[in-house]
Amino acid sequence: MNFILRKSIQFNRNPRWIVTSLASSLKSPYTSSIPVEKAEELRQTLWRSFPNAVNVTVTDISGGCGKLFKIFVECEDFRGLSILKQHRAVTDVLCEQIKQFHDHEYWYEQARIALRKRLQYATDRRPHAKNVILLVGDGMGVSTVTAARIFAGQRKGKKGEEHELAWDAFPAVGLAKTYNMNAQIGESSACATALMCGVKANFETVGLDTRGTLENCYSSFASRVSSLIDWAQESGKSTGIVTNTRITHATPAALYGHSPSRYWEDDSKVPPPSRKSCKDLARQLIENDPGRNINVLMGGGRRHWLPKVANDPEMTKEEGRRLDGRNLIDDWVRDKKKRGLKAEYVWNKGQLDQINPNQVDYLLGLFAYSHMDFEVDRDPGPTGDPSLADMTRSALSILQKNPKGFFLFVESGRIDHAHHYNNAYRALDETLALETALLAALALVNPTETLLVLTADHSHVFTFGGQATPRGHPILATKEQGKNEQEPTEVETDEEETCDCLELDCGNIHI
């Protein structure tokens, strides 16, 4: 009810005037209005209560979508009657519409309420972790996890259903709703904003609350929200991002970026009228807080860092995509040198293996022109790419040096891409790559001072089933295929943007 507290809404006997008034009252800075039928329902309620009224003004004075309203009534035979009335009919109509416009303060308060409820049952009165590792399987819904569990068991020669993944032993398991504020089916950037900033967001925006609207540069100025990395850095902790997608892609971008479009990864994607006012995500990462202070950045996406005139060092026929002529990799290195920080840049596995964590406090690793290869397609040699587990180990070797602790984000982002390509083998294999990264982290951290959370930003349309399917049936085989060998098939990948469409509203959380 934030905007109701700041202004009054007038109701007149003319139904046409009612709808216009309500729409204009809500339009600034919001873009929706109460439907005609709701306005008429509210009008009828008010006029039944005050049959002699000429105008009625309703103002919420309860502190946000409450039940107490000040209703000022102007009647035909007298003016100035002011009363306080708890009016449930008014509350229902207004609250239903106003829920669409929650800014970050609403979601912060919801989090405080939820935390207070849970902490009252906590036996440990020091519920603060020194370190936090957040692992995210992009598009890794419940059905994907179930199939990956069976897949992993069958790889070990078991029937599969009885197998347990590493996170199945975690002490707490839950589910999350992943809808966006203006979309029933969530997509990665808005879901990541909810997950890592604690604030529901609009479809395809990143790092903004609901005041930020798609591709509207100016709407991003007042709607920016802080993230887990902001909060970790404010506490003096080291921070890191590890992903096998582009480092500027939708999910990792929510940790440092604020953009009205997840696709503004470099300046060529930003509309020309907005380029002077809104930075692309790659520039935000190296120039703004908290991005410029992140200790470890590893993933793909060199194309968004390199100018059009520069060729990629690995895919030598490919050029960068930046139109501003800047090489942001050089700019990142220059910034760290200027600030007297020990920093290194690497772009293949061999270079990463040569890093001495005792001599490096800041590490940038960009291992692919676009997204990194699927694990099954990865070149594990020195000129190839590190695995997700390799990057996790390297990140921890640097982050653990901080006595105040660290925050590390690890994303297996190509689960989602495999689902988009309708390639079940790679989706399940990438899920198991996330498990391998989790096991690598568990081997290196102290569990008594480290909180590990494994979840998904959203689910996917992946499903499996079959009536009376026998135990141990190959998870990738049809009934007719029986026990055919499960081999990966070739997949044609689109190096352009992979959108997050047709995803399901259910992400699983393991803590």
From the candidates 21, 33, 188, 261, give the one annotated as an active-site residue: 188
283 contacts 305 by C-beta, under 8 angstroms:
no
- From the DSSP assignment, how many helices (H) and strands (E) are in the chain? 15, 13
The Cα–Cα gap between 250 and 263 comes to: 8
For tokens 């699983």, the residue is 508
The Cα–Cα gap between 256 and 224 comes to: 10
For tokens 């509210």, the residue is 42
The Cα–Cα gap between 355 and 351 comes to: 7
The Cα–Cα gap between 190 and 260 comes to: 10
190 contacts 198 by C-beta, under 8 angstroms:
no
Selection from 285, 249, 229, 202 nearest residue 191 by Cα: 202
Selection from 168, 162, 186, 167 nearest residue 176 by Cα: 186
Answer yes or no: 188 catalytic.
yes
Tokens representing residue 338 in the block: 């200027």
213 contacts 31 by C-beta, under 8 angstroms:
yes
The Cα–Cα gap between 248 and 269 comes to: 12
**Omega before 290 within 30 of 0, i.e. cis:** yes
Task: Give the CA angle between residues 474, 478, 481 to the nearest 5°.
Answer: 80
Which secondary structure element, helix H or strand E, spans residue 45, and what is its range?
helix 36-49
Q: Could you give the dihedral angle defined by the CA atoms of residues 197, 200, 203 and 209, in that order, rounded to the nearest 10 degrees?
A: -70
141 contacts 507 by C-beta, under 8 angstroms:
yes
What DSSP character marks residue 180?
B
134 contacts 409 by C-beta, under 8 angstroms:
yes
The Cα–Cα gap between 325 and 303 comes to: 13
The Cα–Cα gap between 469 and 26 comes to: 55
Give the residue numbers annotated as catalytic, written as ranges: 188
